[in-house]
Amino acid sequence: MTHSSIDPVALTAALIRCPSMTPVEGGALSHLESVLSPAGFQCHRLKFAQPGTPDVDNLFARIGGGGPHLCFAGHTDVVPPGDAALWSHPPFGGVEADGFLYGRGAVDMKGNIACFIAAALDFLADPECLGQGSISLLITGDEEGPAINGTVKVLDWMAANGHTPTACVVGEPSNPQALGDAIKIGRRGSLNGRLLVRGRQGHAAYPQLANNPLRGLTRVAVALQSMRLDEGTTAFSPSNLEIVAIETGNPAYNVIPAAAEARLNVRFNDRHTAAGLESLIRAEAEAALAGSGLTLEARFDSNADAFVTKPGPLVETMIAAIRAETGRTPELSTTGGTSDARFIKDFCPVIEFGLVNKTIHAVDECVPVSELQQLRRIYRGFLEGYFGRLAHTVA
């Protein structure tokens, strides 16, 4: 095996040139395997499938066999680039210009993966660095998609095969303005809902012969949007409910529709559960429809509960590495959407730290070359701290 150093900029560019739009692997996982295998990582390509969903390729790679076992989690799948003509450089070109590296996935999150691998290979150049511990990478191709055949199934495979980690770092771009601004130590939960109100169809000129479901649905929407779910908690901002769509499928102006549907999303903190919010929303909606003669059908789904990783050795080691490189003390944040950390938290403590997120999913997604090198140094410092100070401590 060889632990020769690798340039995170070159590796990021090579990954960008793999057009790995969810759920297509695009060569990205194969390229990572070609880097990790010669360095001594045992690589496992894991393809998972489920009826009604696309097959997804994943990669699990591990070096060392004991504990502590630190896992780095990430995804090589990316969102579509949109109109390529709007980009300054080809979205899958991996072009370096004026100190920036351009391309879809530069920040979200191929650059973060490249920086961790570069840091790990530097770290592993010292044969004594790991002690009895081990490093692994869980890389999925399904984070930007339905998240069914990716991380959640890889984690189950890891548990079944003796690879459950002691702790995990997810390389999501966590910083709003500058590298070192924030570590994500948790996320709010997410609940989706569909509320279908049924009435009686009729002519718009004869409303007395119909029962307009939109009258009831608008009352429901106002009632739900007026709810104050909570005032926030120590670790989280207040929960919020948003109506995101109201639809009838009615193209006519002179027809009162038979039914109308609202779609909603709730981002909730640790004062709530998805089941509790479902009951609350149903009760509020039914109260708003009371006496109207309209009926309600409600459906909900959630695959993300609120969670927080309490400050401890894992968080403190990352803070120390960030402070040593940037001079900043990062905020411990729970803001933003969901990530695959929502699955990992059921197996081990998990935090998220990566690049600055200002250009993710945007035209001309790009990362300063200097920040790739800086993130590599932060990850290297974190690895030294984790396997130095924490070699005999459960993270």
Find residue 231's DSSP bridge partners.
Answer: none
How far apart, in whole angstroms, are the C-alpha atoms of residue 140 and residue 241? 30
Based on the residue annotation, tell me whether 242 is a catalytic residue of this protein.
no
Pick the closest to residue 386 from 131, 158, 175 (CA basis). 131
Catalytic residue among 142, 143, 278, 305: 143
Catalytic residue among 77, 181, 340, 371: 77
Sign of the CA dihedral running 61, 366, 375, 122: positive
Query: How are beta strands 182-184 and 100-102 bridged, if at all?
Result: unpaired
Based on the residue annotation, tell me whether 25 is a catalytic residue of this protein.
no
224 φψ region: left (φ > 0), alpha (ψ -120 to 50), beta (else): alpha
Tell me whether residue 142 is exposed, middle or buried, using C-beta atoms within 10 angstroms of its C-beta: 0 to 12, 13 to 18, 19 or more: buried
The three-state (H, E, C) secondary structure of the chain, written as one string? CCCCCCCHHHHHHHHHCCCCECCCCCCHHHHHHHHHHHHCCEEEEEEEEECCEEEEEEEEEEECCCCCEEEEEEECCECCCCCHHHCCCCCCCCEEECCEEECCCHHHHHHHHHHHHHHHHHHHCCCCCCCCCEEEEEEECCCCCCCCCCHHHHHHHHHHCCCCCCEEEECCCCECCCCCCEEECEECEEEEEEEEEECECEECCCHHHCECHHHHHHHHHHHHHHCCCCCCCCCCCCCEEEEEEEECCCCCCCEECCEEEEEEEEEECCCCCHHHHHHHHHHHHHHHHCCCCCEEEEEEEEEECCEECCCCHHHHHHHHHHHHHHCCCCEEECCCCCCCHHHHCCCCCEEECCCECCCCCCCCCEEEHHHHHHHHHHHHHHHHHHHHHCCCCCC
Q: Which residues are known catalytic residues? A: 77, 143
